[in-house]
Amino acid sequence: MVGNLVIVIFDGLAFGMLLFVLSVGLSVTLGLMNFVNLAHGAFAMLGGYLAIVAMRQLGLPFLAALPVAFLGAALISVLFERALFRRLYRADALNQVLFTIGLVFVAAASAAYLFGTGQQPIQLPGYLQGVVEIGGMRFGVYRMFLIVVALAITVLLVLGLDYTRFGAQVRASVDNQRAAQGLGLNVDTIFAVTFAVGSGLAGLGGALAIEMVGLDPSFGFHYLVYVLIVVSVGGLGSIAGSFVAAVVLGVCDVAGKYFVPEIGSFLIYLLLVGILFVRPQGLFGKR
Amino acid sequence: MVKKIVVALAMGFGLAGGANAQETVKIGVIVPYSGPFADAGNQLDAGIELYIQQHGDEVAGKKIEIIRKDTGGPSPDVAKRLAQELVVRDGVDILAGFALTPEALGAADVATQAEKLMVVMNAATSVVTEMSPYIVRTSVTIPQVNYPFGKWAYESGVTQAYTLVADYGPGHDAEQSFARGFTEAGGEIIGADNTPVANPDFSAYVQRVRGADPEAVYIFIPGGAQPAAIGKALAERGLTPPDTKIFGQGELTHPEALESMGENALGIITTFHYTLERDDPLNNEFVEAYREANDGRSPDLFSIGGYDGMHLIYEALKETEGDTSGDALVEAAKGMSWDSPRGPMSIDPETRDVVQTVYIREVQEVDGVLQNVIIDEIPNVKDPLHGADE
């Protein structure tokens, strides 16, 4: 029984970590830049397809395909940011929502056109497959890998935002754009880089997700719901918040399905309603 | 004198026939070409397209014209509206397609009122053909493959099993028909769980199965990403054949899922009406032509449903000599039998539903590639639910 509980928590943690990598970028852009980017999931899908192309066409190993997914999604997102999103920073939320959700439709159609409507299977290297058995409990190697990657990303982001010069510039630009500009910060560039990092992380998440949940042109829609739940429960702009929210959601989802399968899939929505009822700004949100 | 008249009449008809050569038979195809089920729609369409490419676009002196309509997802209302538009505005003679049960049910009334033949090329819920006397089905029904599979499972030596099915109509159908076949033969179902239709992570459910420690687990989930996900989750928990047998319907081990699951898939036993790898001249030719026409993509259940659906339309038109009235075509379709790439099949004259061989397949490695290898066949299976209530 204890063993089962440990396994359920482990699985939930791994699923939560996947959600975290997928959503932390949106938390950053939404919280810091006040831009409602529903196309975030489309950048995750983009990363997934980039990883597929890198592995199939270029013959790169899986671990080398991950940075390709990150960098590729980041670069392409900057193009979109400079060409399109930038014009909507001062628009109201409804315009941003309409525009970005439209972009998801375009992304889904483009993916279907380029890659077909089917699932894209990948084959992981042997050292990421299989299980490690500890005390009769079986831990999936890939799930452990996910947890390690997510923890590393969290540490890097927190350190980067709190302790580097660039992190300070980002925070300054967010707190008071005009003052930051007046002090000579190039707010435009700072936002573009922040946006790129956020989308790059989504791309990385998309690549990591293929093994667990698959990849097809509807990816951008499917995971939008989970991503939005994580962001709203965690609180806008809070990396720690997204992390905690993702863990709570992942563990509750898996545990709920295990212990009460009849209502298991609704549990995370109940949780969402409950948490937002008590803290409308999310667990770690400031506004 | 009489002879002369006959000859003159015959010539007249001949001329008339010549003039009619330009006539067309319009077939309205309703499937989801976009949205979450776009893959099903497009595979089905590729089956239709291949049949026309191979057999020409002229039947019984008439030209075949396909009018495609996209439902964009599981939406019965849209399917109904499209069917009405096709009949009223485009003047189609035959309705076809219908990848999803709700959409087939939505359009059924239109077929009845317009008295048009409606060829259901996929929608696999038993009840579909009962919704209109103009419906003929060329795909499969879920009870058709799962009920005999339940029996087969017990006869293969499994006495108790756990069922894990997606929480929607087809999932419930599959669970009930497998369980019925299995328990009627003497087996026992020791546990049953439903998973959400779009479930990303199966670890919790698989852990529950492991806790119950059954001899076998029966799985029904929609195709797409989920088969690979559940296969991996099972392997991670050590639920693998031969210790725990894994049973399922064919979607579970479709080619992309096999590629993604890798050797975790070995030993999974599935039941299906179409097996890509079945070594048969007709099938080999079909698969090769299909891959050539579709960038190497392999045909699946949707493709074969569309392909055989077109065969039915062509043959029925030949028999009615181009008469496109719904009654004549349905009459012609009843009892029709032919050799399809999937194997011998026919249309039950009473239920207008498909009768075919059910294949039991096991995932094995053949020449370094994972394949569904046929280990048993059950010929001439009818849907066990039709007529069961009567």
Strand, helix or coil for residue A35: coil
Cβ-count burial B183-214 (b if 16+ within 10 Å, e if not): eeeebebebebbbebbbbbbbbbbbbbbeeeb
Task: Decide if B34 and A8 are in contact by the 8 Å CB cutoff.
Answer: no
Q: What is the mean pLDDT of residues A149-161?
A: 91
- Per-residue pLDDT reduced to its tens digit, B165-183: 998 888 998 999 999 999 9
Q: Which residues pair with B54 in a beta bridge?
A: none
Q: Is the dihedral of CA A45, A65, A251, B223 positive or negative?
A: positive
| Residue given tokens 């709570």 in the structure block | A248
Kindly list the residues from chain B whose CB atom is less than 8 angstroms away from the CB atom of residue A261.
193-194, 204-205, 208
State residue B242 phi and psi, 5-degree precision. -90, -5
Kindly list the residues from chain A whose CB atom is less than 8 angstroms away from the CB atom of residue B45.
none
Q: Is the dihedral of CA B81, B84, B89, B91 positive or negative?
A: positive
Say if residues B137 and B354 touch (Cβ distance below 8 Å). yes
- Per-residue pLDDT reduced to its tens digit, B9-37: 444 444 444 444 458 999 999 999 988 78
State residue A250 phi and psi, 5-degree precision. -60, -50
Residues ≥6 apart with Cβ < 8 Å to B254: B223, B227, B300
Task: Decide if B257 and A119 are in contact by the 8 Å CB cutoff.
Answer: yes
Task: Decide if B39 and A213 are in contact by the 8 Å CB cutoff.
Answer: no
Banded pLDDT at A287 (limits 50, 70, 90): low
The pLDDT value given to residue B34: 86
Q: What is the mean pLDDT of residues B194-204?
A: 83
Q: How far apart are CA B88 and CA B106, in angstroms?
A: 16
Name which of A23, A227, A257 to mutate to probe chain B: the one with the most chain B Cβ atoms within 10 A of its Cβ: A257
Say whether pLDDT at B191 is over 80: yes
- Of A166-180, B52-66, B166-180, the range with the lowest mean pLDDT is A166-180
The pLDDT value given to residue B319: 95
Residue of B nearest to A129 (CA): B236
Say if residues A74 and A203 touch (Cβ distance below 8 Å). yes
Nearest to B96 by CA among B140, B135, B57: B135
The pLDDT value given to residue A165: 92
Task: Decide if B259 and A109 are in contact by the 8 Å CB cutoff.
Answer: no
- What percentage of chain B carries pLDDT values higher than 70? 93
By CB atoms closer than 10 A (0-12, 13-18, 19+), residue B364 is middle
Q: How far apart are CA B254 and CA B257, in angstroms?
A: 5
Nearest to B25 by CA among B117, B111, B106: B117
| Residue given tokens 């028909």 in the structure block | B177
B38 touches chain A (CB under 8 A): yes
Length of chain A: 287
| Residue given tokens 């499972």 in the structure block | B153
Banded pLDDT at A173 (limits 50, 70, 90): confident
Say whether pLDDT at A136 is over 80: no
Residue of B nearest to A215 (CA): B225
The pLDDT value given to residue A239: 84
Kindly list the residues from chain A whose CB atom is less than 8 angstroms away from the CB atom of residue B298.
none
B36 touches chain A (CB under 8 A): yes
The pLDDT value given to residue A1: 64
Task: Decide if B225 and A119 are in contact by the 8 Å CB cutoff.
Answer: yes
Say if residues B201 and A213 touch (Cβ distance below 8 Å). yes
Residue of A nearest to B255 (CA): A121
Say whether pLDDT at B47 is over 60: yes
- Of A46-60, B111-125, B375-389, the range with the lowest mean pLDDT is B375-389
Q: Which of B207, B225, B295 faces A214 most closely, judged by CB atoms? A: B225
- Per-residue pLDDT reduced to its tens digit, B303-362: 999 999 999 999 999 999 999 999 999 999 999 999 999 999 999 999 999 999 999 999
| Residue given tokens 């720690």 in the structure block | A240
ipTM metric: 0.74
Side chain identity, residue B160? Q
Nearest to B347 by CA among B338, B356, B358, B334: B334
Domains and their CATH numbers in chain B:
2-140+282-352 (3.40.50.2300), 143-272+358-381 (3.40.50.2300)
Residues ≥6 apart with Cβ < 8 Å to B158: B187, B215, B216, B245
Query: Alpha helices of B61-168 — where are they, by DSSP H?
Result: 76-88, 101-114, 142-155
The pLDDT value given to residue B42: 93
Kindly list the residues from chain A whose CB atom is less than 8 angstroms away from the CB atom of residue B205.
257-258, 261
Say whether pLDDT at B387 is over 60: no
Q: What is the mean pLDDT of residues A189-195?
A: 89
Nearest to B52 by CA among B2, B96, B21: B96
Say whether pLDDT at A189 is over 70: yes
B39 touches chain A (CB under 8 A): yes
Give the DSSP letter of residue B131.
G
State how far residue B229 is from chain A, nearest Cα, in angstroms.
Answer: 6
By CB atoms closer than 10 A (0-12, 13-18, 19+), residue A128 is middle
The CA-atom distances, in angstroms, between B170 and each of A2, B124, B125, B231, B304 are 36, 8, 6, 20, 19
Mean pLDDT score across all residues of chain B: 89
Residues ≥6 apart with Cβ < 8 Å to B147: B177, B178, B180, B181, B384
Strand, helix or coil for residue B112: helix
Say if residues B68 and B38 touch (Cβ distance below 8 Å). no
- Per-residue pLDDT reduced to its tens digit, B131-154: 999 999 999 999 999 999 999 999
Say whether pLDDT at A133 is over 90: no
Strand, helix or coil for residue B63: strand
In this structure, the dihedral spanned by the alpha carbons of residues B297, B302, B307 and B308, taken in order and rounded to 10 degrees, is 150
B199 touches chain A (CB under 8 A): yes
Say if residues B93 and B25 touch (Cβ distance below 8 Å). yes
Task: Decide if A216 and B226 are in contact by the 8 Å CB cutoff.
Answer: no
* Interface residue ranges in chain A relative to chain B, Cβ cutoff 8 Å: 4, 7-8, 11, 15, 109, 112, 116-123, 129, 131, 138, 140, 143, 211-218, 221-222, 226, 253-258, 261-262, 264-265
By CB atoms closer than 10 A (0-12, 13-18, 19+), residue B88 is exposed
Task: Decide if B193 and A261 are in contact by the 8 Å CB cutoff.
Answer: yes
Q: How far apart are CA B217 and CA B115, in angstroms?
A: 44
Kindly list the residues from chain A whose CB atom is less than 8 angstroms away from the CB atom of residue B297.
116, 118
Strands annotated E in B98-212: 117-120, 135-137, 160-166, 188-195
Report if pTM > 0.90: no
Task: Decide if B229 and A256 are in contact by the 8 Å CB cutoff.
Answer: no
Higher pLDDT, B73 or B366: B366
Residues ≥6 apart with Cβ < 8 Å to B81: none
Kindly list the residues from chain A whose CB atom is less than 8 angstroms away from the CB atom of residue B260.
119, 121-123, 214
Tokens in use for A235? 């609180």
Cβ-count burial B248-263 (b if 16+ within 10 Å, e if not): bbbbbbbbbbbbbbbe
Architecture per CATH, domain A2-278, reads as Orthogonal Bundle (1.10)
**Alpha carbon of residue B305 to chain centroid:** 5
Higher pLDDT, B79 or A4: B79
Tokens in use for A9? 């928590």
| Residue given tokens 């918040």 in the structure block | A241
- Of A10-14, A109-113, B104-108, B225-229, the range with the lowest mean pLDDT is B225-229
Mean pLDDT score across all residues of chain A: 88
Q: Which of B38, B204, B262 faces A257 most closely, judged by CB atoms? A: B204
